[in-house]
């Protein structure tokens, strides 16, 4: 079944944009990070602390596979979803994938007050974001059906662009 998956780095606005797009399409909205938090009953920073990044990635893979096998939905993902070959393979299997492209400058502006992103718990978040960007950019592009830039833009404007692009390629909220 054709899911709509939003990918992109931390601070791209995947959840807020995804929620709006889902409302407009009349589809349910789910967020992998939120499901992981609910299942674990603790925050993502706590999972990183207790199980390391590897433990978090195992949880992320399991939740992602389950959501892709479930009902039709708009799925917002964590920024690292593309690191796993298994996640990338699942995305290629009949889903529409929107890459929310975001510069490191805009990511910094949007994550400045965030206290729940363990990967940014470092003295130099800008350098960390640039390093992550360099490692993942090609993976996001490889998975993307559509690429929409979010730089300097409001959620509503990006969501409207995503909806217009979806109409252009014939994606609709009705079952397909
Ligand atoms: C991560 C991004 C986070 C969250 C975790 C790891 C990453 O999600 O999954 O902290 O590896 O980029 P957001 O992209 O929603 O911030």
Ligand 1 centroid to residue 145 C-alpha, Å:
21
Residue with CA at minimum distance from ligand 1 atom 16: 10
pTM: 0.96
Q: Average pLDDT of the chain?
A: 95
Q: Is 8 in the pocket of ligand 1 (CB under 6 A)?
A: no
Residue 116 confidence class, pLDDT cut points 50, 70, 90? confident
Cβ neighbors of 139 (< 8 A, separation 6 or more) are 82, 83, 88
| 176 has pLDDT over 60 | no
Q: Is 63 in the pocket of ligand 1 (CB under 6 A)?
A: no
Report how far residue 77's alpha carbon sits from residue 14's, in angstroms, rounded to the nearest whole number. Answer: 7
| 119 has pLDDT over 70 | yes
């Amino acid at each position: 079944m054709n899911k709509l998956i939003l990918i992109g780095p931390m601070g791209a606005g995947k959840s807020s944009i995804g929620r709006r797009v889902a409302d407009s399409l009349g589809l349910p909205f789910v967020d992998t990070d939120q499901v992981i938090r609910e299942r674990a009953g603790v925050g993502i920073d706590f999972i990183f602390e207790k199980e390391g990044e590897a433990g978090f990635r195992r949880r992320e893979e399991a939740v992602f596979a389950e959501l892709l096998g479930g009902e039709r939905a708009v799925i917002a993902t964590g920024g690292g979803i593309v690191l796993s070959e298994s996640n990338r393979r699942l995305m290629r299997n009949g889903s529409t994938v929107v890459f929310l492209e975001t510069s490191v400058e805009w990511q910094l502006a949007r994550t400045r007050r965030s206290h729940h992103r363990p990967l940014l718990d470092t003295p130099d978040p800008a350098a960390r974001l640039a390093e992550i960007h360099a490692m993942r950019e090609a993976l996001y592009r490889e998975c993307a059906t559509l690429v929409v830039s979010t730089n300097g833009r409001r959620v509503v404007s990006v969501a409207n662009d995503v909806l217009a692009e979806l109409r252009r390629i014939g994606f609709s909220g009705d079952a397909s």
